[in-house]
Amino acid sequence: MAASGYTDLREKLKSMTPHRDNYRNKVSEHSNGSGNKRKYHDSEDDLSDYEEQRESEARKVKSGITQVSIFTPEECARIEEKIDEVVARGDKGLYREHTVDRAPLRNKYFFGEGYTYGSQLEKRGPGQERLYSKGEVDEIPDWVHELVIDRLVSRGVIPEGFVNSAVINDYQPGGCIVSHVDPIHIFERPIVSVSFFSDSALCFGCKFQFKPIRVSEPVLYLPVRRGSVTVLNGYAADDITHCIRPQDIKERRAVIILRKTRPDAPRLDTSSLNISLSERRRPLKAKRSHRKADPDAAHRPRILEMDKEQHRRSVLLSSRQSRHGNDPSENSWRREEDSTGRYHTHHTHSHTPARRVKMRRH
């Protein structure tokens, strides 16, 4: 060893594989840089830095949130009756075409001003949202002014004449709304929401994934009580997304969102809708999602939205196991899987010859 110039075997091995040290140095520099794509924490100090950043961001979010309890249970009950009337009118098709927007486990009702978003956009992405032309949605109902807006004005939550857009979101158990920022080019700040029917929560900084649906841990979890008013401003409104997770809607919940549109907010050209005049004047047909809400869905959103293929296979396996024994009854059926992966079904009635049936896999 000494003749070759090395006094320690570790030094020789190190000289033979210099690329390993270079790789480690690059990984270390990458993980200690911006921190955006850090996958592994090299030490407890790195982990504490990450947690400190999360806590710092949570404090920024809190600085832009104001919550007050204004409406009594009796007042909530009266407003909730009015919300039920809105739902009933929507089911009868008594509103204008763009007033009602339906989705599984969540319906939206636009009043005063409505806008395109999500899959309705020709070009996806923030900044592409557009207000509908004037008159495309119904006016804000009188009861919203009298029972909700005037009350907030009298308590100093919003100035008089601020609100020209009111949206009612009606959620069923397990419903949700994905992470988003209310379009800055359309709505002024603050964003004001009032909750009814049940308690829930608003989460900030979550990321959604689908099939099956799952949501990352929020930067801030904000409980929202029935009858409470939540006001978003500053960092909470502009610099971080907010959402409602499926597991936070345990009972039916409705929220009235009150906003003011910007004078220069872009509007949608009616000619770009590619809808004929007769179609635009046609009243909205009454329709409602036939999907029944699962009362336990809020507690197990993964099972609620689990992958269909995986679910089908588990049901099939369970069925095969339960029917493995030969049942002498006339109506018994037994399914087998041969070596080619095709399924064949055999009738066990003694007077009928076995019949091979090719089953299509979904």
Q: What is the DSSP string of 12-31?
A: HHHHH-HHHHHHHHHHHHHH
As given in the structure block, the two tokens for residue 190 are: 């603050």
Sequence spans of domains, the chain = 53-267
Q: 211: pLDDT confidence band, cut at 50, 70 and 90?
A: confident
- Residue 332, CA distances (Å) to 318, 327, 335, 352 in order: 16, 6, 10, 13
Helix axis angle for 18-31 and 9-16, nearest 10°, is 80
State how far the Cα of 103 lies from the Cα of 75, in Å rounded to an integer.
28
The DSSP call for residue 240 is S
pLDDT at residue number 46:
74
Helix (H, G, I), strand (E, B) or coil at 62: helix
Cα atoms in the Cβ-side hemisphere of radius 13 Å centred on 183: 23
**What confidence category does residue 35 fall into, taking pLDDT thresholds of 50, 70 and 90?**
very low
Question: Among 29-33, 111-115, 193-197, whose mean pLDDT is lowest?
Answer: 29-33
Mean pLDDT across 303-324:
53
Give the whole-angstrom CA distance, residue 180 versus residue 126: 9
% helix, strand, coil for the chain, step of 5 = 30, 20, 45
Q: Comparing 170 with 35, which gets the higher pLDDT?
A: 170
Catalytic residue (one of 6, 23, 50, 115): 115
Range 181-205 average pLDDT: 97
Q: What pLDDT was estimated at residue 110?
A: 98
Q: Counting Cβ atoms within 10 Å, is residue 305 exposed (0-12), middle (13-18) or buried (19+)?
A: middle
The predicted model gives 177-193 an average pLDDT of: 96
Beta bridge partners, 130, equal 116
By CB atoms closer than 10 A (0-12, 13-18, 19+), residue 161 is exposed
How far is residue 195's CA from residue 230's CA, in Å, rounded to a whole number?
A: 8
Task: Using pLDDT thresholds of 50, 70 and 90, give the confidence band for residue 352.
Answer: very low
Instruction: Give CA 184 to chain center in angstroms.
Output: 20
Asked whether the beta carbons of 345 and 316 are under 8 A apart, the reply is no
pLDDT number for residue 252: 98
Comparing C-alpha atoms, which of 357, 57, 46 is closest to residue 220?
A: 57
What is the token pair recorded at 99?
A: 């007033």
Nearest to residue 232, comparing CAs of 70, 65, 68, 69? 65
Question: Whole-angstrom Cα distance, residue 335 to residue 346?
Answer: 7
* CATH, range 53-267: 2.60.120.590
Q: For the residues of 148-210, what is the DSSP string, one character each?
A: IIHHHHHTTSS-TT---EEEEEEEPTT--EEEE---TTTB-S-EEEEEESS-EEEEES--EET
pLDDT in tens, 315-334: 565 665 555 554 443 333 33
What is the pLDDT at residue 32?
A: 46
Average pLDDT, the chain: 77
Residues 232, 252 contacting (CB under 8 angstroms): no
Is-catalytic flag, 115? yes
- Whole-angstrom distance, CA of residue 320 vs CA of residue 313: 10
Compare 4 and 303 and report the one with higher pLDDT. 4
Q: How does residue 271 score in pLDDT terms, banded at 50, 70 and 90?
A: low
How long, in residues, is the chain?
A: 362
